[in-house]
Structure 1
Amino acid sequence: MKPLSVRQIRSILAGELIQGSDHVIIHFGAYRLKQIKKQNTILFSNKKITNWDALKKYFPLVLVTDQEFRKNGQLEELTVLKVKDIEEAYWKFVNYYRSLFQIPVVAVTGTSGKTTTKEMIRHILSAEKNVSSTNSSNNSRTAHLYYLLSIDDDTEAAVFETAVGEPGDILKAGEYFKPTIGIITNIGAHHLNYCKTLEAYINAKGEMAKILDHSSVLIINSEDHNTKKIDLSNYLGRIIKVGVDPSCHFKAEDIKYGKNGMQFSVQHLEKNYAVFVPGYGAHQVYNALAALAAVHEIGMDLSKAIEILKTYKNLNKHLQVHEGLNGATIIDDTWSLTTTSLEAALNVLSDVGKAKKKVAIVGTITDLGSWGYVIHEQAGEIISESDVDILITIGFHARIMADHLLKIGTNATVHSFNNSTLVFDLLKEIVDENTIVLIKGDMYSQPIIELASKLRKKQ
């Protein structure tokens, strides 16, 4: 955080100094007690705090409140600013702080690929610039203030992941970050427990266009079916399309698998560039296209960005290939699970596992609410279109995929388990060096993560 004095903050908020000093310097911000981790933090709160002893280790502390506060001689290192409305004061502070920095800020959303795309952008930009970014996939709305304040006078660019748990989440992120570049990687079916319908989820992702102004850039996947449904009629900024369609500003051609990644050619402004991106799958090409478009827009030479991209390290548990049980090839994709990422993973299984027996282990898709049955049936249909030889589902709801696959007809052998205990024993019997196994789950499914670990060969 750029250090600010209480005097500066008081001027911005039109606050009254109840106790403490105008000369205290603020280095951190919080709007919840549990967010206070360091001294010299400014806390915005309308709640009465009773246990000051627990907070003394974080003194000097600055409290901004719209509640009555009597000067307390026992709390000498506590500075208190009284404001008329705490909500209004908080957003004045947020808006003021963001206004201090005229830097490119990239916001990335999508059902799948947003963390990977964000990390690619961070990796490429970091070769030349000091970059602030979301940590891994920690994109909770409660972390927005923390990430905003990670920008300081040394920051030259920022890239933040903006997730959708419910409608309005991206709008709220926009109030903090005010991005200059927005990216929508793709839109599948997820978080329907709060969005209720696929249309509402698409609209929630489409909020990205609403948080960008007329001078901004929106980067979209040209071929994504649901992204095409977003109403962009009121968006006044530029649109950059990436994909394989001839209309794309960044167009991929000659896509093929290489050693540990994808090789392709990208066409931009009538020039062609050879690209290698670590990580398997055509979807990785789209992630790379969006990342290259973003960093080029920021001002990086495209040839240099492509060279740096070669050194990107694919994220843990994102379609990582290992030698494993009985000499089988194991594809560990236990980071997230949506129908979009399932389809991408099955394509990788097919492409990497040519001439091998293909086993897919799939867990439950979460955050679907009343749509759970329908989406798991859709997952079964996606599996039916793959060349999987053996399907193993783990979990009560995951069984819906298996049952639907059997209902519509399949040549695959199908097994369903309520937990992973018996799966390993089955795999010991059916896999060998001529087998490739995809294990697909999400970061919250500990049994599947543990199973993936057991399947991988110990070093």
Structure 2
Amino acid sequence: MKVHNVSDIREIISGELVQGSDDTEVYYGAYRLKQIKNKNTILFISKRIVDWKSLKKFFPMVLVTERKYNKEEIPDNITVIYVLNSEEAYWKFIHHYRNLFDIPVVAITGTAGKTTTKEMIKHILSFDREVTATNRTSNSRTAFLQYLLNIGECTEAAVFETAVGAPGDVLNAGEYFKPTIGIITNVGAHHLNYCKTLEGYIDAKGEMVEIIDPSGVLIINGDDLNTRKIDVKKFLGKIIRVGRNSYCHFKITNSEYSKDGMQFSVQHKNRNYQVFVPGFGEHQVYNALFALAAVNEMGVSIPEAAKRLKSFKKYNKQLQIVDGINGSIILDDTWSITTTSLDAALKVLNEVKLRKKRIAVIGTITDLGSWGYVIHEEAGNIVYQNGVDVLITIGYHASIIADHAVKLGLNTPVYKFNNSTLVYGLLNEIADADTIILIKGDMYTKPIIELAAKLRKK
């Protein structure tokens, strides 16, 4: 955080100093007690603080409040700024702080590929720039303040992942970050427990259009059907489409599996470029395209960006290929699960061709609310369309995947389990050196994570 003293902050938020010194410096910010991790933090809070003893190790501290405290209630080394409304004061400070920096800020949303695209952009830019970015997949509302304050005087670019748990989440992120470049990777079906319908979810993703600077850039997937439903006409800035369609500004003309990743050709402004991206799958090509388009807008040439991309390292458990039990190959994709990412994983299972027998172990898709049955049926359709040699599902809702795939005509062995207890034993029986096993789930489903770890060759 760029250091501010109390005098500066009072002027920004129209506050009255009721205790402490105007010369006190602030290095950190918080709007909840649990966010206070360091000394010299400014806390914006409307609730009355009673337990000062637990905060003592973080003194000195600055409090912005609308509460009227008696002098004896507050320790001496707390600076107190009184305001009429602490929430309004908070947002005044947020807007002031963001406007201190004239740098490119990228915001990324989408059902799948957000984290990988963010990490690719960060990787490419970090060769010669100071970059601030969201940490792994931590992209909740409560983290936004800390990410914003991570922008400092040396920061030359920022890349933030803006997930959707409910309508308004992307708009809220925009209030903090005010992006100059926005990316929508794709729109599948997820978080329907809060968005209620697929249309509501599409609208929630489409909030990206509203938060980008009017003179900024919107980068979208030109091949994704749901993304096309987003109304981009009201966006006044530049729109860049990536994909295979003829109207795409970054057009994929060829892609193929190679050792350790994807080799593809991209056409941009009548020139062709050869690009290699570590990691298997057509979805990885799209992630790379979003990254190339974004950094190109920030002044990195496509050949230079492609050169830097070669050394990109993706996270573990994102279609990670490892040695498994009985000489098998494990395709560990237990990072997250949506119908979009399931389709991508099954395509990789079919295309990698490391082994002849393909086993898919699939867990439950979460955050669907009343849409659970419908979306798991759609997942069953995806399994049927892609095909596997053995299908294993884990969990009550995941069994719907198996039932629907069989109903559609999947004519291979299918096993349904309520939990993962017996799955290892089955795989130990049927897996051999001619087998590749895809295990698909999310990082929050402990039985899936434990099974994936157990299947790896020790």
> 1:116 matched to which residue of 2?
116
Looking at structure 2, the residues matched to 172 and 431 of structure 1 have their Cα atoms a distance apart, in angstroms, of 48
SS at structure 1 position matched to 2:454:
helix
Quote the residue 1:385 is aligned against: 385
| 1:75-122, Cα deviation, whole Å (9 max, x unpaired) | 121000000111110100000000000000000000000000000000
Distance, in Å, in 1 between the alignment partners of 2:41 and 2:71 is 19
Q: Whole-Å Cα distance in 1 between the matches of residues 346 and 410 of structure 2?
A: 16
Deviation at 1:272, TM superposition (A): 1.2
- CA distance, structure 2, for counterparts of residue 119 and residue 286 of structure 1: 14
Task: Name 1:162's counterpart in structure 2.
Answer: 162
Which residue does the alignment assign to 1:240? 240
1:408 Cα offset (Å) = 2.0
Distance 2:84 2:102 in 1: 30
What is the rounded CA distance, in whole Å, between the counterparts of 1:328 and 1:177 in structure 2? 46
Q: 1:254 & 1:145 partners in 2: Cα distance?
A: 42
Aligned-residue CA RMSD (Å): 1.0
Contact kept in structure 1, 2:266 and 2:274, CA below 8 Å: yes
Contact persistence 2:210–2:235 (CA under 8 A): yes
Q: Using the alignment, how far apart are the partners of 2:308 and 2:393 within structure 1?
A: 39
Residue in 2 that maps onto 1:152: 152
Q: Distance in 2 between matches of 1:406 and 1:144?
A: 44
**Alignment-derived partner of residue 449 in structure 2:** 449
Residue 277 of structure 1 corresponds to 277
Residue 354 of structure 1 deviates from its aligned partner by: 6.3
**Cα displacement (A) at 1:72:** 3.6
Matched AA of 2:78? L
Query: What residue number does 2:68 align with?
Result: 68
Cα distance between partner residues in 1 of 2:384 and 2:361: 14
Structure 1 residue 386 displacement after superposition: 1.1
CA contact (8 A) 1:18 1:69 kept: no
Q: Give the match for residue 255 of structure 2.
A: 255
Deviations 1:317-341 (A, max 9, x none): 0000011111111100000000000
- Larger displacement relative to structure 2 (63-72 or 288-297): 63-72
Percent pairwise identity: 63
Correspondence for 1:344: 344
Query: Which structure 2 residues correspond to residues 329-368 of structure 1 after superposition, within 5 A?
Result: 329-353=329-353, 356-368=356-368
TM-superposition CA deviations, 1:18-63 (whole Å, max 9, x none): 1001011100000000000000000000101011111111011000
Quote how far apart the aligned CAs of 1:274 are. Answer: 0.9
Residue 385 of structure 1 aligns to a residue whose secondary structure is: helix
Q: In 1, Cα distance between the equivalents of 2:7 and 2:402?
A: 64
Residue 313 (structure 1) aligns with: 313
Unaligned runs of 5+ in 1: none
Per the alignment, in what secondary structure is the counterpart of residue 234 of structure 1?
coil
- 1-structure distance, mates of 2:427, 2:310: 35
Q: CA deviation at 1:315?
A: 1.2
Report the counterpart of residue 403 of structure 1 in structure 2.
Answer: 403
Residue 105 (structure 1) aligns with: 105
SS of 2:386's partner is: coil
Say whether the 8 Å CA contact 2:354–2:436 is kept in structure 1. no
Superposition deviation, residue 244 in structure 1: 1.3
Aligned to 2:416: 416
Q: How does 1:162-241 map to 2 (within 5 A)?
A: 162-241=162-241
Following superposition, the deviation at residue 71 of structure 1 comes to: 2.5
Distance 1:298 1:435 in 2: 44
How much has 1:353 moved relative to structure 2? Answer: 2.5
Say if 2:355 and 2:435, in contact at 8 Å, map to a contact too: no
> 1:189 & 1:405 partners in 2: Cα distance?
19
Residue of structure 1 in register with 2:439 after alignment: 439
User: CA separation in 1, counterparts of 2:48 and 2:427?
Assistant: 57
C-alpha separation in 1, matches of 2:278 and 2:26: 41
CA deviations on 1:341-388 (whole Å, 9 max, x unpaired) are 000000000001266111000000000000000000000000001120
SS in 2 for 1:160: strand
The 3-state SS of whatever aligns with 1:226 is: helix
Amino acid at match of 1:332: D
How much does 1:443 deviate? 0.5
Secondary structure, counterpart of 1:23 in structure 2: coil
Amino acid at match of 1:139: N
Cα distance in 1 for partners of 2:285, 2:2 equals: 37
Structure 2: which 5+ residue stretches go unaligned? Answer: none
SS of 2:71's partner is coil
Which residue identity does 1:195 align to in structure 2?
A: C
Q: TM-score, normalised by structure 1?
A: 0.99
Task: Return 201-210 or 72-81, whichever deviates more.
Answer: 72-81
User: What is the match of residue 34 of structure 1?
Assistant: 34
CA apart distance, 1:456:
1.1
1:199-258 per-residue CA deviation (whole Å, 9 max, x = no partner) reads 000000000001013201000010001000001121111100011112111111220001
Cα distance in 2 for partners of 1:344, 1:158 equals: 28
Residues 13-92 of structure 1: matches in 2 within 5 Å?
Answer: 13-72=13-72, 75-92=75-92
- Please give the per-residue CA displacement for 1:177-201, whole angstroms capped at 9, x wherever unaligned: 0000000000000000000000000
Which residue does the alignment assign to 1:371? 371
Quote the Cα distance in structure 1 between the aligned partners of 2:15 and 2:70.
15
**Which position in structure 2 is the counterpart of 1:294?**
294
- Structure 1 segments of 4+ aligned residues over 4 angstroms from their partners: none
Contact 1:18 1:71 in 2 (8 A): no
1:70 CA drift (Å): 2.5
Question: What is residue 136 of structure 1 aligned with on the other side?
Answer: 136
